[in-house]
Copies of this chain bind each other. A is one copy, B any other.
């Protein structure tokens, strides 16, 4: 159950055997069926979630009812509305499962306790957040600087796994496009 999480942490920092047991005690395991919500707009995001298995998406629904994909997370990724989780304010976002999933979840009180009792986890999360900033920045540059076609090509180059695993209409939304536009772009790229 904790295999993926422990591997992920031990890539970045060192844990003793005692640390591992203590660490595990802060988490709650949870299984999700495909299409099942774990966070809905208007609720507070009570957990930081690590994906042991499966695939999640976080998305925002705008005034016109259109969905905008913020993030995907599969094995080895964390997922949460960071702002809602840390502040306790209600979330603007939804999180649900694209594929059946197994999660390890931690509450804010447990997260804070964990950081105090296992100071090495401050380092783990600092590094994790660092990397997160880098990838968010990249994505932002891409959306601001490039055309739809270039954005898609860059995504294929940078994250081919995403293209394979995630339905095309969700990829379109992630790129800030309609499904029709992405379909036409792909057609054009295949032909040339």
Interface residue ranges, A against B (CB under 8 Å): 60, 62, 66, 68, 70, 82-83, 86, 92, 115, 119, 122-123, 125-126, 129-130, 132-134, 136-141, 143-146, 176
Contact = CB atoms under 8 A, between A and B. Distances in A.
B70 A140 contact: yes
Given A119-B119, A122-B122, A125-B126, A68 B144 contact: yes
A109 to B, nearest CB: 16
6 contacts: A70-B141, A82-B130, A82-B134, A92-B141, A115-B123, A129-B130
Contacts of A66: 145
B136 A133 contact: yes
A29 B100 CA distance: 53
Given A129-B126, A130-B86, A133-B136, A60 B119 contact: no
A130 B146 CA distance: 27
Nearest to A64: B145
Contacts of A136: 133, 136-137, 140
Q: Which 4 A-B pairs have the closest CB atoms?
A: A129-B129, A136-B136, A126-B126, A122-B122
B129 A176 contact: no
